[in-house]
Amino acid sequence: MNNWMKNVRKVDPYVPGEQPKSLNVVKLNTNENPYPPSSAVKEVLKHASDDALRRYPDMDCTKLVQALSEFYSVKPEQIFVGVGSDDVLAMAFMTFFNSDKPILFPDVSYAFYEVWAEMLRIPYKKQALDENFRLIQSDYFQENGGIVFPNPNAPTSILEPLSFVEEIVAGNPDSVVIVDEAYIDFGGQSALSLVDRYDNVLVVQTFSKSRSLAGMRIGFCIGSPALIQAINSVKNSYNSYTMNHTALEAGAASVRDKAYFDETRNKIMETRKEAVERLAKLGFHGPEPMGNFLFVTHDRVPAEEIFRALREANIFVRYFKKPRIDNYLRITVGTPEQMEKLYAFLEEYLKER
């Protein structure tokens, strides 16, 4: 071994969902939006100017922040944008979770929380969900160095009501509480209404799901000006210019097209509703889905077997071989056409089992 290798940081990297390069696939495994982004996005990409490309982008991300400020009726100084919500969350962990006390998050949740805590040497305690995969609120009223949870949770798709979130925020005035709302636009009630009343809540959202822009890497968080100023300072100590020109333009154009945003998420909610019924008829059940995905188990056939059979048929869903959830599938809500292919395959497959 080379001696310099001794000083290399050791990590256990997160493994994201498979991204097949073939297009001949029904891709329901990474919670992408099956619909294209607003047509305004392609329009702005067509008009990127030479000057904008050759110059450093606006480090204040003014155009995108302004659009978000208008959309969500908050002040620009309450908004921080980053390279996807992963960037926003990692920066928030770095900025706010510097206590010696453990941070708290659910045991079944977004896998990156643990990766970041390990990476940044933040002490943490995973709080077990109950037998119905619900967060146990009382678990979040103990001494802690910060709290983070997704709402709706992933991979369960379960939404907790706003009152549940508010009680945790109100009960932990000495901690920053991060509510990861990647999937909130599919029927949930956002904690954004809390940011003017509580200075310790940070609401994180993304353009990757409801705005069909996973390919552009845009996330943001909204909180009190004090929180946003702190995270901006830390971010500027790493890299002042993370949001490239096209992301800023595409993001702003997308936010300004509210009609299309509503149309798309409504379509997904309708397809989701039908999916619950159709899958139930095939013997699947799971919690009421409130994200753009379902979390289901079959009453007879093991999830891992179904996962493999689907994969062979070029239908990709997500399977986590992890304690408690290893008999569940996470299925992204696709277009009605994609879902029909899923139902048709499952119907045939389950008949033979």
- Residues of span 199-238 touching a second copy by CB under 8 A: 199-200, 208, 212-217, 226, 230, 233-234, 236-238
**Cα dist from 83 to 100, 232, 257, whole Å:** 28, 13, 21
CA 121/CA 131 separation, integer angstroms? 30
Number of residues that bind a second copy (CB under 8 A): 85
The backbone region for 88, taken as left when phi is positive above 0, alpha when psi lies in -120 to 50, beta otherwise, is alpha
CA 334/CA 27 separation, integer angstroms? 8
CB 197 to a second copy: min, Å: 14
Considering only residues 67 to 106 of the shown chain, the ones binding a second copy according to CB under 8 A are: 83-84, 86-87, 90, 94-99
Q: Using the 8-state DSSP alphabet, how is residue 333 labeled?
A: -
Considering only residues 16 to 55 of the shown chain, the ones binding a second copy according to CB under 8 A are: 16, 19, 23, 27, 30, 32-37, 41-42, 45-46, 48, 50-55
Binding mask 238-277 for a second copy (x = CB under 8 A): xxxxxxxxxx--x---------------------------
Measured from the CB atom, the residue of 39 and 193 that comes closer to a second copy is: 39
- In which order are the strands placed within the sheet that holds 79-82? 79-82, 219-222, 201-206, 177-180, 147-150, 103-106, 124-127
In the three-class reduction of DSSP (H, G, I as helix; E, B as strand; rest coil), residue 294 is classed as: strand
Instruction: List, in order, residues 6 or more apart from 39 with CB less than 8 Å away.
Output: 257, 260
CB 334 to a second copy: min, Å: 12
156 binds a second copy (CB under 8 A): no
CB 317 to a second copy: min, Å: 16
Considering only residues 275 to 304 of the shown chain, the ones binding a second copy according to CB under 8 A are: none
CB 236 to a second copy: min, Å: 4
Beta bridge partners of 117: none
